Amino acid sequence: MYFTRRLPPKFSSLRLRISPGASLGYYRGLRQAGLNDLYDFAEHHVRPGDTVWDVGSNMGIFAFAAAARAGLGGRILCVEPDLWSVRLLRRSCSYNRGRAAPVDVLPAAATGRCGLEWLNIPERSRAATHLESAGGAGPELVGGVRERLLTAAITLDWLAENSAAPRVLKIDVDGAEQAVLAGAAKLLAEQSPVILIEVYERNADAVSALLHERGYTLFDYTGGEAGKREVARAVYNTLALPPRS
């Protein structure tokens, strides 16, 4: 089942192709409170002309909100390993061509090394698709594995060597966040992007150490900008601001 829905007017009402197969919440459209962290991150941290990477794009909610903010002079790159989501993202790209920053879609998984990885598609929610090596959210939340697919894996450092580096970076990789940051050491040191990252509890200490080592200040971004508060240890929705911010 698929729907065409629009982002809020402050993001130019861009059209997206979405499916409740990714998350049942999409039955309610794109204005639910649970999306406020993504919308606020785009509104408050993406500037006209920015290059933005959305790593683990799913339906592209953040990517297209960022495209509206960055404008025609910006550039958005979605990194998404699930080809089912990639098809929907590319349909959304066709809807919005010429109305916002161009959005490109790279069908690959970001992790700590370049190579091949197994991608697990959960029974209940494709929003929880994850690398087998990362473990994902666990069967108690998303059921068993519906399908196991081979995918190309890249590091963000490799990507930065072959593409324009981002000023803004969103990471939602269902348990692989520590590996993704480890594979982005050079990018963090040399480019220091503003980061919104989803962090599983089991990775919180390692993620916090990696970001603190690069001089980042961490904030709990649950619910978005209004409730933002500084924290010493990464939480599920973590905003990481580099020293220059």
pTM above 0.85, yes or no: yes
Per-residue pLDDT at 140 = 75
Rounded Cα distance between 62 and 210, Å, is: 24
Q: Residue 215: left if φ>0, alpha if ψ -120 to 50, beta else—which one?
A: left
Are 213 and 198 in contact, with CB atoms under 8 Å apart? no
Q: Which residues of the chain have pLDDT under 70?
A: 27, 245
Query: 164: domain CATH number?
Result: 3.40.50.150
Q: Which of 109, 12, 25 is nearest to 59 (CA)?
A: 25
Are 68 and 7 in contact, with CB atoms under 8 Å apart? yes
25: exposed, middle or buried (C-beta count within 10 Å: 0-12, 13-18, 19+)? middle
* pLDDT tens string 54-80: 999 999 999 999 999 999 999 999 999
Q: Which of 44, 84, 27, 36 is nearest to 61 (CA)?
A: 36
Q: In the 3-class helix/strand/coil scheme, how is 47-108 assigned residue by residue? A: CCCCEEEEECCCCCHHHHHHHHHHCCCCEEEEECCCHHHHHHHHHHHHHHCCCCCCEEEECC
Per-residue pLDDT at 245 = 62
Q: Which domain holds residue 41?
A: 3-241
Q: How many domains does the chain have?
A: 1
Q: Which two tokens stand for residue 93?
A: 């790209």
Per-residue pLDDT at 29 = 73
User: How far does Cα 27 stand from its chain's mean position?
Assistant: 21
